[in-house]
Amino acid sequence: MEQEDIFSSTDSQRGAFELPYAKYAVFENGMKLEQGGELPSLTICYETYGTLNERKDNAVFICHALTGDSHVARHTEDDSPGWWDILIGPGKSVDTNKYFVICPNILGGCRGTTGPDCINPQTGKPYGADFPMITIGDMVTAHMMLIDHLGIDKVLAVIGGSMGGMMVLDWAVNHKDRLCGAVLVASTTRSSAQAMAFDIVARNAITRDPEFRNGQYYDPGCPGPLDGLAIARMLGHLSYLSRESMTKKFDSTRNHGRDIETNFETRFSVGSYLAYQADKFNERFDANTYRVISMAIDLFDMGGTAEEIAQHIRNTTCRWMTMSFTSDWLFPADQMRELVSSLISCGKQVSFCNIESDCGHDAFLLPNQLSTYGSLIEHFLRNVRKSLAEPNDQRRIEQSVQARFNTRPDYPEILKLIPEGSTVLDLGCGNGELMEKLREKGAKRLMGIEMSERAVQACVAAGFDVVQGDLNKGLQPFNDKQFDYVVLSSTLQTITNVETVLEEMLRVGQKGIVTFPNAGYMPWREILYEEGRMPSFDPHEGSNWYTTTNTRFLTIRDFQEFCAKKGYRIVKQLALDTLKRCVVEHDCNRYANMAIVILTR
């Protein structure tokens, strides 16, 4: 049992099987390539799932990663599972009862689409090393030829993980009229030097294998660079797993390698796993394809910093859903955050979630975090589709969540303060309750920032754009005066960097709205003064000094003095006694337990 277990991988069930449901689109005029070469003819192998509707607006296009193929999901119960079977199918997150799913093998691939192992019509022999250098952009150009061939003007969304996400970026940047939504999972705007180094060592291993024969190894009797490709595959596996997941998988059987027939070292369990995976890979993959595609990955460069990325994404028009995984060190969250920052600064509609996982880069193919990334993709597709149906009336979007009870007495007051048609950024937006009320009231544009993964999920499910992030780090990607209102409701008391957050909210918003429990409330003062006990200073938290999540305690007077010192102007101030459920008109610092303040700078 245990021995079987260590050999499982996201890939291990996939051998050199046939693709019985594959279709082939042949383009006899070939295509020109970005780096200057051209292909005299082009065949694209692809599979489709579900039905294209009459309006042809339900297509979802899937871009696979380095070693994937067109077989993204099973077509029937008897069919072999696809590489994203857990995500795509009838009733699944990408529901093939609703959507028409298209997945091609990419240009340069070795699974049906034109690649180095195909016959070059100009020589009658396999391309081998003569296959021209291709780019991610070329792969996406081929995708365009395919959707043209299928008669689709614009797909609902393009979804890609890892290298697939790079293709999604290229769609959005260079073919902006052909997609409504862009979904990037565990991807990046460009590989880090570390990630490139893995690819480079892998290519060196392939090309220095004497059996590589300068890429012309397709003749009978030539085994091809099996050792080189095996080393490349071992390196790939290493970069796809996290240290934690490798420890879990191999440490208990550390010194007990499985006795398999292989040319590679099997002394340790992790070694026998790598050997096994490498040998299996050699049965189904082509070394030239590995080399050509990994080079396309390394050449891909939409910038490394938010500023550089902005040069590329400035004119995109799609809505974005971006996801990273906390233990992914190949395409880590920080790189995705640069893209997200860039999209924010350019005013695009974007959501981001850094999903907690110990599975490393491979997490996007595994069931472990499917409940999060599957749900985010499912709701994002629905959100994009809804906004197509009623593009000018975001208000009427169907409520995805149950009507929630009103736990927050400051919300009705905040709603009164924000005029219809405003743009609002909600800091610490929680499950999106305030945003929902603002949407009902007719807000023009809404966006939230929130720390909790579950809350981010709830917001996306409710139709909102939300970015997972820590307010204490500031709002750096946002532009000056990007929103009419920036709201910090019942969150100030949990903020570490108070000065940063308030400064930033007044930079990004025309106005800021802050609500907080007022520690000056007389019953609380009395608890301390008369009883010598510390009050909870929070009417709705009900916890005590040693368990409260509140860390900042202030009175209305303290806040007024703070604003005066900082030069913030208090435009309006409201005060509530939330226990008596009334507005406090006089001597607020004494009689109110909650303050609501509108500020400007």
| Residues numbered 266-295 forming contacts with a copy of itself, rule: CB under 8 A | 268-271, 274-275
Q: Could you say which residues in the range 578-597 bind a copy of itself, by CB under 8 A?
A: 589-590
Structure tokens at 588: 């607020």
Task: Report the SS3 class of residue 572.
Answer: strand
d(CA 282, CA 233): 9
Phi, psi of 12 (to 5 degrees): -65, -20
Task: Report the SS3 class of residue 15.
Answer: coil
CA-wise closest residue to 401 among 428, 379, 427: 379
Candidate segments 169-177, 197-205, 373-381, 385-393, binder of a copy of itself by CB under 8 A: 197-205
Count of residues for the chain?
601
Q: Which of 200, 401 has the CB closer to a copy of itself?
A: 200
Q: Which of 242, 422 has the CB closer to a copy of itself?
A: 242
Q: Does 405 engage in binding with a copy of itself (CB under 8 A)?
A: no
Tokens 């070693």 belong to which residue?
67
- Contact predicate 477/340, CB 8 Å: yes
d(CA 141, CA 102): 15
- Contact predicate 49/80, CB 8 Å: no
Q: Does 557 engage in binding with a copy of itself (CB under 8 A)?
A: yes
**CA distances to 173, 316, 436, 449, 513 from 443, in Å:** 28, 23, 10, 17, 15
The minimum distance between CB 271 and a copy of itself, in angstroms, equals: 4
Tokens 């640069």 belong to which residue?
338
Structure tokens at 107: 């240009």
Among 79, 390, 440, 526, binds a copy of itself (CB under 8 A): 526
Q: Which of 129, 401 has the CB closer to a copy of itself?
A: 129
Q: Does 370 engage in binding with a copy of itself (CB under 8 A)?
A: no
Interface pattern 314-353 for a copy of itself (x via CB under 8 A) = ---------------x--x---------------------
The minimum distance between CB 368 and a copy of itself, in angstroms, equals: 18
Among 36, 91, 151, 210, binds a copy of itself (CB under 8 A): 210
Interface pattern 503-522 for a copy of itself (x via CB under 8 A) = ----------------xx--
Q: Could you say which residues in the range 223-262 bind a copy of itself, by CB under 8 A?
A: 227, 230-231, 234-235, 237-238, 241-243, 246-247, 249-251, 254-255
d(CA 426, CA 446): 8
The minimum distance between CB 210 and a copy of itself, in angstroms, equals: 6
d(CA 467, CA 477): 11
Annotated catalytic residues are 162, 328, 361
The minimum distance between CB 125 and a copy of itself, in angstroms, equals: 25
Q: Does 558 engage in binding with a copy of itself (CB under 8 A)?
A: yes
The minimum distance between CB 11 and a copy of itself, in angstroms, equals: 16
- Contact predicate 156/291, CB 8 Å: no
Q: Does 556 engage in binding with a copy of itself (CB under 8 A)?
A: yes
